[in-house]
Structure formats: structure tokens, C-alpha cells
Structure 1
Amino acid sequence: MISYILLVSRQGKVRLAKWFVTMPPKQKGKIVKDVTQLVLARRTRMCNFLEYKDTKVVYRRYASLFFVCGISAGDNELVTLEIIHRYVEVLDRYFGNVCELDLIFNFQKAYAILDELIIAGELQESSKKSVLRVVTQSDSIEEQENSEDTMARLGSRVGQMSKTL
């Protein structure tokens, strides 16, 4: 089971953090700090798996971001690497060659995509097309609601203006 997923920049800033286990904020902060230091200190050609306390840490670097997962001791590291890669592929398709700024300014979408892929620390949906379809449907519903709200506000303003005339 995946305990957490962190997206960390090369400067050590956390860009996205998703926790699938319950723990106090202080403990989460310590894990983020320790794991970030461990991952950032490693060289490019080193193994992408390491042990941290009673868990395994699996990470992969894409451009300027490290995608880091904490998994149970008995979990398969290669499957976790594939899950990370699947997430990056879906982000790439959604944003069109995703970059760190996309994740900073559209973090809600990054979380929504992650929520479609992983539920309770387990891979829920492996199909990239299914995940993208759900997220784009959500986008279109959101746009429709926003346009309806705008039309309603414009309608109320027109009504107010006609009363004053």
C-alpha cells in the first residue's frame, strides 16, 4: 500500500503531498523533511529505491520534480515506479507536456487526477483514457456551472438596471 505521494522540486519545495495513512501533522512534517533530504542527496545513477524506517521509498525524477512514494515493506517497488510513470503520463496528456508551473497553478487538477488513479493507497484505475475522460467531464461540468452562474448574475443586473430606469 502506498502511504504517501510527494512531488518535490530540486530546491526541496513540496509541490504536492497526498497522504493515504493517518498520522499527526508533526510526524508528516518530519517524514517530508527526512525523505526530501534523502532523495535530493542521491546522485542520478543511484537506485530509485531506499529504506526509511519501516517503509520503502520509491522515487523518480522527471525534469525538475521528484515524484516520491512511501510504500509498505512488502510492496513491489517496480509496480510503484509504474504507478508514478502512469501518473506522469496522465498529467502530460492533460496539460500537454506538464511542467512544474502547471502543478503549482493547477494543483486542484493534479489532485483530481491523482484521486482518479489511486484510492486509499492502491491503484484504482490503470486506464489513462478512463482517468482523462472523467477529469475532462468534470471540467466541462464545472465550466457549464460557471457559465450558468455568470448568466444568472448578468440577468439579475439587467433586472436591477431596468428597475432604476
Structure 2
Amino acid sequence: MIKFLLMVNKQGQTRLSKYYEQVELGKRAALEADVVRGCLARRKEECSFVEYKDYKLVYRQYAALFIVVGITENENELSIFELVHNFVEVLDKYFSRVSELDVSFRRGFYSLMYNQIMFNLDKVHIILDEMITNGHIVETNKNRILAPLLALDKMAES
């Protein structure tokens, strides 16, 4: 089961957090600080799976953005690793359509995507809610994930 998902920049600032279990606000700050510190300190050559207290952490880095997922012991790390990449591909698909900018190399796109995420956190939460419900993966098809968001955009245009 997925317990939480964090999006963090290289400076260690949490840009988005989504919890799938009740965690007190005071404990969230300490948890996020420990998790972020632990993941940012790792080298690129090291494994992207880390054991931390009662969780296993799965993280991926995309340019200046880290996505960290806390899961239970019985969850498959590789499926979560792929879920993170799928999530980034969905963000890529949606925000490249929204911004309509032609970015020729991925590093530039991830910087663009980072800015889009910061100004559209509500839409990122909608995407996450379509993919994960109550800590369980419910959808991975990019078109199905984006359908409600595209419908909202269409309604806003008219």
C-alpha cells in the first residue's frame, strides 16, 4: 500500500505532498525532513529503494525534482518505480499540451514541468487522485487519467 507521495526540489523543499494515511501535521514535517534528507544524500549510482522506519521508500529524480513514495513492506518496489515514471509521463503529456512549447531536450522540459506543477497543484492532485485511491493504484492508462482533467479544461474554455 502507498502511504505517501512527495515531490521535492534539490534544495529539499517539499513542493507537493499527498498522504494516504492519517499523519499529524507536526509529524509530517519531521517525516518529510528525514525522508528528503535521506534521499537527497544518496548518489546516482545507489539503488532507488531505501528502507526507512516502517516504510520502504522508492524515489526517482527528474532534473531538479525528486519524487519519493513511501510504501508498506509488502508492496512491490518495481511497480511503484514504474508508477512514478508513469506519473511523470502523464504530467509531461498534460503540461506539454497546456503550454504548447516545443522543448527539444528533456532536461529543459523537466524545468518547464516543474514550473507548471508549482502553478497548477490542483491539477496535479487531480492526476494523482485518478491514479491512486486510498493508497492503491487504480489507473495507469494515460488517456483515462487525463480524461476528467481535459473535460474540466474544455468546460472552462466555454
TM-score (structure 1 length as normaliser)? 0.84
CA distance in 1, matches of 2:25, 2:61: 26
Which residue of structure 2 lines up, in the alignment, with residue 64 of structure 1? Answer: 64
CA deviation profile, 1:40-64 (whole Å, cap 9, x unmatched): 1001111000011011000000111
State the match for 2:145 in structure 1. 131
- Where does residue 82 of structure 2 map in the other structure? 82
* 1:20-43: CA deviation from partner (whole Å, max 9, x where unpaired): 000211111111000000001001
How far apart are residue 142 of structure 1 and its match? Answer: 3.2
Aligned partner of 1:5 in structure 2 is 5
Corresponding position: 1:105 with 2:119? yes
Give, in whole Å, the separation in 1 of the partners of 2:94 and 2:156: 16
- The residue correspondences of 1:2-81 to structure 2 (distance < 5 A) are 2-81=2-81
Matched residue of 1:131: which SS? helix
Unaligned regions of 5+ residues in structure 1, if any?
145-165
1:130 is displaced (CA, Å) by 0.7
Cα shift at 1:69: 0.2
Q: Distance in 2 between matches of 1:127 and 1:141?
A: 22
Greater RCO (Cα-Cα under 8 Å, separation 6 or more): 2
Deviation at 1:15, TM superposition (A): 0.9
Work out the number of aligned pairs and report it. 144
Higher-Rg member (1/2): 1
Aligned AA (2:150): T
Query: What's the CA shift for 1:131?
Result: 1.0
TM-score, normalised via structure 2 length: 0.88
RMSD over aligned Cα atoms: 1.1
